[in-house]
């Protein structure tokens, strides 16, 4: 059973985990969660990630930030959300986007340059990706303040109470915006959960050069709960996030979850991680792969091979859809940046729009 006190940061920073590397379930939780659904989520979202890397290498995408190895943390957290909750991602939460029902092809538009976002955040309560490190934490805090003002927290009505789940990396902890967000969340007891995927590296800077204490311990300095969880254990990640979101909706304030994981691929496809870290360390973390751990547990529990074969077949269909969908993304309307910047277009901006459209038309005439 999951006892809330077991997830609190202890002096020795005990890591909350449920599934061992051997797939053995060492500790059950009351958080529920469908293990079949979460296995499928992790496999399919990883395939989206793999296909996106290949598309970037083929010149179809300008850039891609891989999430390889972080699927357990993301799916565990993503499946803890209720429909009325809202998530604020960084630029790497591809598996969370999958859990919230965002079409994977829509994720590619931002990195292909065909859109400035790619999806409507209101459709799935999943905000647009944020490229500015730490900025999404303030966006999330502002939204949580709105939830309080709407009276949608602490009512005891599960159809009304809401919470905010905001994702960040360990590098964002060195940003002023993140620390400001912590101050406001604590001072106003906001219904927000900060989910930090400590993947060990902020591009080439290891976490050890940013802080002398763990991520989770930093919450204590701001006056709210800190939780340290095995981020490669989807069951533990799910249980810890369910607990934190339940507390937030009940009006018990914010939580900072530190999901210990590892970024097994370079920071982005433009990064050469071989220049700053040992490949042997990546190999060590590969042995803790979240998908392999859950699959081993399911196999040990007697799940038939037909289930895994079905997911593998679905994976191939998804891969084809992503490849075709990426290459057929429509070119953006050259007027869209002007039309969607301000509610009422001032004269000066309208003049710039006319000049821009004339410039584009002239270029098209030359090309033809």
User: Among residues 112, 228, 267, 297, which one is catalytic?
Assistant: 267
pLDDT in tens, 95-105: 999 999 999 99
Task: Say what percent of the chain tops pLDDT 70.
Answer: 96
Per-residue pLDDT band at 33 (split at 50, 70, 90): confident
User: Among residues 263, 264, 293, 297, which one is catalytic?
Assistant: 263
Pairing of strands 201-202, 86-88: unpaired
Residue 267 bears catalytic tag: yes
Whole-angstrom distance, CA of residue 12 vs CA of residue 2: 19
The answer to whether 39 and 298 are in contact (CB under 8 A) is: yes
Residue-level pLDDT at 1: 27
Cβ neighbours of residue 76 under 8 Å, at least 6 residues apart? 33, 38, 231, 233, 234, 235, 236, 237, 238, 239, 240, 241, 259
Of the two residues 210 and 166, the one the predictor is more confident about is: 166
Confidence check: pLDDT of 227 > 60: yes
DSSP-based three-state secondary structure for 307: helix
Residue-level pLDDT at 13: 65
Confidence check: pLDDT of 143 > 50: yes
Per-residue pLDDT band at 368 (split at 50, 70, 90): low
Confidence check: pLDDT of 2 > 70: no
What is the overall mean pLDDT for the chain?
Answer: 93
Whole-angstrom distance, CA of residue 311 vs CA of residue 330: 30
Residue 218 bears catalytic tag: no
Continuous H helices in the chain: 4-7, 35-57, 71-78, 94-99, 104-112, 121-124, 135-150, 176-187, 215-222, 234-249, 279-286, 290-300, 305-327, 336-339, 347-367
The answer to whether 262 and 199 are in contact (CB under 8 A) is: yes
pLDDT in tens, 275-301: 999 999 999 999 999 999 999 999 999
User: Among residues 160, 276, 323, 356, which one is catalytic?
Assistant: 276
Per-residue pLDDT band at 9 (split at 50, 70, 90): very low
């Amino acid at each position: 059973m999951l006892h809330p006190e077991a997830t609190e940061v202890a002096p020795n920073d005990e890591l909350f985990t449920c599934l061992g590397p051997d797939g053995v379930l060492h500790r059950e939780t009351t958080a529920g969660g469908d293990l079949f659904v979460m296995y499928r989520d992790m496999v399919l979202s990883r395939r989206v990630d793999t296909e996106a890397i290949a598309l970037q290498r083929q010149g179809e995408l300008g850039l891609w930030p891989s999430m390889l190895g972080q699927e357990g943390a993301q799916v565990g957290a993503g499946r803890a959300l209720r429909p009325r909750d809202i998530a604020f991602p960084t630029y790497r939460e591809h598996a969370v986007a999958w859990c919230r029902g965002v079409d994977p092809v829509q994720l590619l538009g931002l990195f292909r340059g065909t859109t400035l976002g790619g999806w409507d955040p209101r459709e799935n309560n999943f905000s647009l990706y944020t490229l500015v490190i730490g900025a999404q934490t303030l966006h999330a805090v502002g939204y949580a303040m709105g939830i309080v003002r709407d009276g949608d927290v602490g009512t005891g009505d599960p159809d009304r109470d809401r919470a905010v789940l905001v994702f960040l990396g360990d590098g964002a902890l060195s940003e002023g915006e993140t620390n400001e967000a912590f101050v406001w969340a604590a001072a106003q007891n906001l219904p927000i959960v900060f989910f930090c995927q400590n993947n060990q590296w902020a591009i080439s800077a290891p976490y050890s050069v940013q802080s002398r204490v763990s991520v989770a311990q930093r919450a204590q300095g701001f006056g709210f709960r800190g939780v340290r969880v095995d981020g490669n254990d989807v069951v533990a990640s799910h249980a810890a996030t369910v607990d934190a979101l339940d507390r937030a909706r009940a009006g018990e304030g914010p939580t900072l979850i530190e999901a210990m994981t590892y970024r097994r691929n370079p920071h982005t496809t433009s990064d050469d991680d071989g220049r700053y870290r040992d490949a042997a360390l990546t190999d060590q973390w590969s042995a803790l792969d979240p998908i392999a751990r859950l699959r081993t547990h399911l196999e040990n529990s007697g799940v038939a091979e037909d289930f895994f074969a079905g997911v593998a077949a679905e994976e191939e269909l998804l891969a084809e859809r992503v490849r075709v969908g990426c290459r057929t993304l429509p070119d953006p309307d050259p007027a869209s940046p002007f039309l969607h910047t301000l509610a009422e277009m001032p004269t000066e901006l309208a003049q710039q729009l006319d000049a821009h459209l004339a410039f584009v038309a002239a270029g098209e005439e030359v090309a033809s």
